[in-house]
Structure 1
Amino acid sequence: MSLSEEDSTHRTQLVIFDCDGVLVESETITNHVFARLITEAGWPVTFEDCCAQLKGLSMKDCVAKIEAQLGRTLEPDWPDLYRDESYTALRAHVQAMPGAKEAIALIRAAGRKMCIASSGPMEKMEITLGSTGLMADFEGMVFNATMVAHGKPAPDLFLHAAHEMGVPPRAAIVIEDSPVGARAARAANMTCLGYIGGELKEENGLAREGAILIEDLCEVAHHL
């Protein structure tokens, strides 16, 4: 491989966005619903507890953690109850994260690829991205945890996204707001930008996972 070819595999070719808490301000909305329903199920938790212990995990992993705390299985329709109540709240209140549309425009202007890799279900992203006008920017470029064997903090989802986008992992950067996601990016051998401009800031946890902290999504331009 020539030096120029080697350099081209290292420079940023792909930006992988997390969705909740990065592109859309949804986590405050859904974690309030989550905390109430978990408490009603028998594990008293606060909004802050949910953010600290469950943020960034897939629903499957959240349910496993809740059931471990309860010492029993949840009702079979419990995830459906959470889905219905959280989706109703999202339709009414979700907004695009400040700077999201501008960051997308900067990435496009730089000629870089971009996609989404989220623990959230596709149906939820159709609501959040659709309601905020962001879906059109990512048609056919949205990946979620149901597509891989192991969700975050395993690297599977980010590696799958890079593969589908035709980019080697080391040429991708990830924008995440949770330590769980930052750990997954590190395991995938990808640079992680830790976004701390939203309402739920995980500055210390992101830093511990080696993320480069950014307060404005448009700072991604410095890493293209």
Structure 2
Amino acid sequence: MLADLNANHHFLGYRHTNTAGRQLYNLTLNRTIRHIGPHFPTYYSANSNTTPDIILTNFRTHHNTHTAPGPLTTSDHIPIIFTIPASPIQIPTMPRPSFKQANWASFKNEISENINSTEFPDPATLEEIDTEVERWHETIKTATKNNIPTTRHRTLPTPKHSHETNTIMIQFTALRTHAHIHGWTRQQYNRYRNLRGRLQEALIQD
């Protein structure tokens, strides 16, 4: 919810409080809602700048968001540009192999072809052994470079639903599809309300 609530409280940066501010603070303190911004002024007066415009979410809502001030308009408030991207947030990191995306079949074939392509002398001198070990090492490095991609980002972890939550979601999708085709009935509506109640309990457990 984005709204001009005029809620004044110390945790919002105000020097004084009012009823709306105290109520908002209590809801936040009780983990009923979460205040996520904005963290910049949205209203300017002759002697102060405040943030009467507030963004609130359900405490168990997990989205990647970005908040920025908008351009000048004819309103006496600064617009808020609030973005909810669908893609996960990625943090730059040191380059490292991404083993999950590796082509292991090609990796194995490339190593087998190159390592087995030369007959190893028998008996061998220490110099010949060192040369062969170095060749194996270079073969593995080349195969790694060709078949295992490098990643330079780390994706922030996102909450995963439990099996119970996923099952409820599947049941709701099936119910909605059936109702869309055949129409809603009292029994289906009661089933829908039951699923909502179960989902609320499941999300608390998640």
Q: Which one has a bigger Cα radius of gyration?
A: 2
Which TM-score tier does this pair reach, normalised by the shorter chain? under 0.3
**Which structure carries more strand by proportion?**
2
Higher helix share: 1
Question: Which has the bigger relative contact order, CA under 8 A and spacing at least 6?
Answer: 1
* TM-score, scaled relative to structure 2: 0.20
